[in-house]
Amino acid sequence: MTTASKQSGQKIDAMMEHASIALVQRDYFLAEQLAIECLRSAILAKDYQRAGRVINPLQEARRMKRDLAVDAGRVVLISEPIGEQFVPEPGCYFFVPPRVGQEARVLRVRAEQACVPVIVIAREPRTSGGLCPVVSVGPVTARAYVQEPTPPLASIKGKGNKKTKATTPKPAATATLTAPPAQVVNVFGTFITPDMPWILAACEALGDAAIEQVTSINCFQRVEALYLRLQAFPDHEKLHQRLRQACEESAHQALINPVGARTATMLPEPGDDEQDN
């Protein structure tokens, strides 16, 4: 081990320790931020053992943030530009056309900077087969096709004995979106606000689709591919688990063939055809 790699490992270990402390103290945003930096540094250094170790605290911090977003009980439909002054509140945000995945990513980043727990997902127009394409954008684009959301029971008239009282969402802290709509009709179609179970199911489908994109049998390339997709969609348990498994396999292979690990060919940088338009 070179002096530089030893120093790099020590730096990663120190950040991992701080991330663990932040997690115990329930500072989930700080824990996630430190774990992300650890993971990035370890993968760049091809230190797969440390990369695998940091995924568990990263996954746990994100799980807790996701739970906080769900517990807020808000699903906000967004079809208009969010504006420079928009500050998200805890909850789920569902972007519909003409908004695109890149705008959803901007909101997610803004929420991270403000330490606000959110789940953000974007959809595209309905396919010819009647399915709803959901997307998440990062270094690559993850896309899945799910059933269209159905109107909440409270909005269906003339059915059932007693109507469920609808909960009025709190207004978002912005001059652009003062009252998020329950339904939007525009040239792209009719879009309704889905319920929380639909949001969570769509998130599962999106993460599963991202995993299915990774077909390489080379463990080092799988680390790279899964890492890119985790940046695109950080709200999926199995995506973290698959990356950890790939890191552990790569760490084992690096012990057997250290030269091969150092010279392993990574995947090419994603081109424009992999980005969301």
- The SS3 call for residue 20 is helix
Q: How far apart are CA 195 and CA 201, in angstroms?
A: 10
**Spatial distance between the Cα atoms of 143 and 202, rounded to a whole number of angstroms:** 10
Given a cut of 60, whether residue 75 has pLDDT beyond it is yes
Render pLDDT for 192-225 as a digit per residue (tens, 0 to 9): 999 999 999 999 999 999 999 998 888 998 999 9
Instruction: Tell me the two tokens of residue 100.
Output: 């695109």
Res 150: pLDDT: 84
Q: In the chain, count of helices (H) and strands (E)?
A: 8, 7
Q: What is the pLDDT of residue 143?
A: 94
Residue-wise pLDDT for 15-68, tens only, equals 999 999 999 999 999 999 999 999 999 999 899 999 999 999 999 999 999 999
**Total-model pTM:** 0.82
Contact 243, 259 (CB under 8 A): no
